[in-house]
Chain A
Amino acid sequence: MSTLQNIQGNAACAAGAIAAGCRFYAGYPITPSSEIAEQMAARLPKVGGTFIQMEDELGSMAATVGASLGGVKAMTATSGPGFSLKQENLGYAAMTETPCVIVNVMRGGPSTGLPTRPAQADIMQARWGTHGDHPIIVLAPHTVREIFEETIRAFNLAEALRVPVVVLYDETIGHLVETVDLTPPQPEDIVTRTFASGPAEDYLPYAAGEDMIPAFPRPGDGYRTHTTGLTHDERGFPTQDPQKVDAFMKRLLGKLERHAKMIEKTESVEVDDAQVLIVTMGTPARAAKTAIRQLRDEGIRAGLLRPVTLWPFPEAALRAAAKGKRAVLVPEMNAGQLILEVQRVLGGAAPVSGLNVFNGEPIAPQQIAQAVKELVK
């Protein structure tokens, strides 16, 4: 049977989730993400899973984390206003190290903004949306096929590292239909969290080994642990002891760095000989690829670095790619968010300029080509 199908980005996201082993979805309808909920509502009962439409996004995030606390792979999806509402309980997932996947199909903001138009204005919210220092992974696919792949990878990372993972893409790709191969991954490519095993006596739920990831105590397995959003010690109970707090926070924040290799992912297109480096993600990256071809036809050498894992930001890859470039261009569908990180990482090593579109229209290849031409003038 051919696995080639014409499928919409949001549907590919649902397909990826099911393939990754997701068996619980709690959501609240919001354009342009609702198709994910509709797909999950149809697909989950067939595979023995559960779909529930909650009363709001606070509740849907809570239920998602609740299901994962029960040991089941869980996901929720939303868009701007709903993403804001999910933040508190997303922080709870980060604090309690509960694996979960949150999809944010970005639309124009602020507030109700442009419900049906694309934007990329949640780049910083995805990283810093919930209060307090916290670990989070954000993946930024740019094609329908990649939405499928990255949703699977989101589950794998969430489960492996006990961290919330955000899949972040804009309305354009969410609603885009492409012909793609959705061959499900091999079973060995699916990651499920390590459940605690061994004696329950003296068991410490938040004591981690070298890998900094504690095994997950599944309710019913006899560990009877405590889970709290309060800062806790290795036993899982609240502590304010500065030493314990420090050790806990260092592990919580440090675990992603420890596993940076597993997390990091970028795509480079014709970077080596480029005069101008374009750094962008999502839909504008598609435009950038077209622009690069046009520019090269005209003898202007441009290249693209695309963070597929957006957060933690691929700092080393960017530094390497930007080396010796005349200029760096950051096209994005917002008033300038990704550029802040690019400037921070490059610290003046190359001149960085932005191309910002926030009128609800995607960025066109010509706009990028034009901007590059300005830079090499």
Chain B
Amino acid sequence: MNEIKVTSADEFDIRDWLRTDLMPHFMCPGCGHGIALRALLWACHELGIGKDRLAVVSGIGCSGRTGAYIDANTFHTTHGRPLAFATGLKLARPDLTVIVISGDGDSLAIGGNHLIHACRRNLDMTLVLLNNEVYGMTGGQVSPTTSAERFTTTTPAGNMEPVFDACKLAEGAGASFVGREATLQTPALKDLFKAAIAHKGFSLTEVISDCTEIFGRKNALGSSPEMVLKQKKVMIPAHTDNRVPEPFKPHPFETGVFVRQERPEYGEVYEALRARVREKGK
């Protein structure tokens, strides 16, 4: 007699990485941060990171709240400071894989100083910068990445300020790994995260995410699926000559890995210093 045995061919089940008792999560319908979170956990899964050794440090914002759903050591810190908390944590515990989740307001406005210095220092951790062009959590105010002429609650006549390009900023500040991907390209986003986490040193990964409920509505960007699809229209894969023309328009964005270089990692540099002083002390 023949019997049919059924096996599943699937490896990654996000539920293995979630605190399922907290689900459904608090994000709005269609929020891009959820898609980014999936890609991140998918990357962790493929890298074989142990959940006990994974530390996720997040800031304040809808972006920062995503950390709580990860079944790992999670730290929901203060607005703009997650990189600084993570710096202490990683230096004290080099054995942990440290991932920082932050928003465009969190990292580029209030936390801008910590960002540039984290890039410069090159301590081994990965920043996931969820860029939705807006302060989602506080109800849709302008952020340093809000495109020109977009409406937010604090730019009722349309945004007049130029934007930050987070990747260029990081490159200028000396980050040793910089990349950008959109939530629409979930597998590519996952691969970007994998490369960033595996990279020894500070990595910045900017995610083009969508705030569907606030920014989307305010600017009549359409339904959630329409918003995700729009990413495709303005996306330019890296290493074409088609660079972002000027940062002042609702701009197309490049995707891909922009910087990847070997630089001395801060933790290792410090360990060498310890060895030196111990040697001298003998």
Query: Is there a contact between chains A and B in the complex with CB atoms less than 8 Å apart?
Result: yes
Residues of A whose CB lies within 8 Å of any CB of B are 23-24, 26, 45-46, 48, 50, 52, 54-56, 58-60, 62-72, 74, 88-89, 92, 219-230, 237-238
Binding site secondary structure of chain A: mixed
Task: List A contacts of B281 (CB < 8 A).
Answer: 46
Q: Give CA–CA (A356, B75) in the complex, Å.
A: 44
Do A65 and B85 touch (CB < 8 A)? yes
Q: Interface centre among A52, A62, A68, A224, by most B CB within 10 Å?
A: A62
Residues of B whose CB lies within 8 Å of any CB of A are 19, 22, 51-53, 55, 57, 67-68, 71-78, 80-81, 84-93, 95-96, 113-114, 116-117, 270, 273-274, 277-278, 281
Do B81 and A59 touch (CB < 8 A)? yes
Task: List A contacts of B55 (CB < 8 A).
Answer: 70, 219
Q: Give CA–CA (A38, B239) in the complex, Å.
A: 46
Task: List B contacts of A24 (CB < 8 A).
Answer: 88, 91-92
Q: List 19 A-B contacts (CB under 8 A).
A: A45-B273, A46-B274, A50-B270, A52-B88, A58-B81, A59-B87, A62-B87, A65-B85, A66-B85, A69-B75, A70-B93, A71-B92, A72-B92, A88-B78, A89-B81, A219-B55, A221-B52, A224-B73, A238-B68
Binding site secondary structure of chain B: helix
Q: Give CA–CA (A31, B116) in the complex, Å.
A: 25
With beta carbons under 8 angstroms apart, the residue of A46, A52, A55, A222 that contacts B52 is A222
Do A66 and B74 touch (CB < 8 A)? no
Q: Give CA–CA (A229, B41) in the complex, Å.
A: 24
Task: List A contacts of B270 (CB < 8 A).
Answer: 45, 50
* A351 → chain B closest CB, angstroms: 45
A-B interface, 4 closest residue pairs, ranked by CB to CB distance from nearest: A66-B88, A63-B88, A62-B84, A67-B92
Do A59 and B68 touch (CB < 8 A)? no
Do A54 and B87 touch (CB < 8 A)? yes
Q: Give CA–CA (A64, B81) in the complex, Å.
A: 12
Known contacts A52-B87, A219-B96, A224-B73, A66 near B57 by CB under 8 Å = yes
Q: Give CA–CA (A71, B51) in the complex, Å.
A: 18
Q: Give CA–CA (A219, B80) in the complex, Å.
A: 22
Task: List B contacts of A72 (CB < 8 A).
Answer: 92-93
With beta carbons under 8 angstroms apart, the residue of B53, B57, B88, B95 that contacts A64 is B88
Known contacts A46-B281, A50-B270, A226 near B68 by CB under 8 Å = yes
Do A69 and B117 touch (CB < 8 A)? no
Task: List A contacts of B68 (CB < 8 A).
Answer: 226, 228, 237-238
14 additional contacts (CB under 8 A) given A66-B57, A74-B92, A220-B52 = A24-B92, A45-B274, A46-B281, A52-B87, A55-B117, A65-B85, A69-B88, A71-B92, A88-B78, A92-B77, A220-B96, A224-B71, A226-B67, A228-B76
Do A229 and B78 touch (CB < 8 A)? yes
Q: Give CA–CA (A74, B72) in the complex, Å.
A: 23
Q: Give CA–CA (A230, B137) in the complex, Å.
A: 14
Do B91 and A71 touch (CB < 8 A)? no
Do B96 and A59 touch (CB < 8 A)? no
* B160 → chain A closest CB, angstroms: 28
Do B88 and A26 touch (CB < 8 A)? yes
With beta carbons under 8 angstroms apart, the residue of A68, A224, A226 that contacts B76 is A226
Do A227 and B75 touch (CB < 8 A)? yes
* B146 → chain A closest CB, angstroms: 24
In the complex, residue of chain B having the shortest beta-carbon distance to the beta carbon of A50: B91
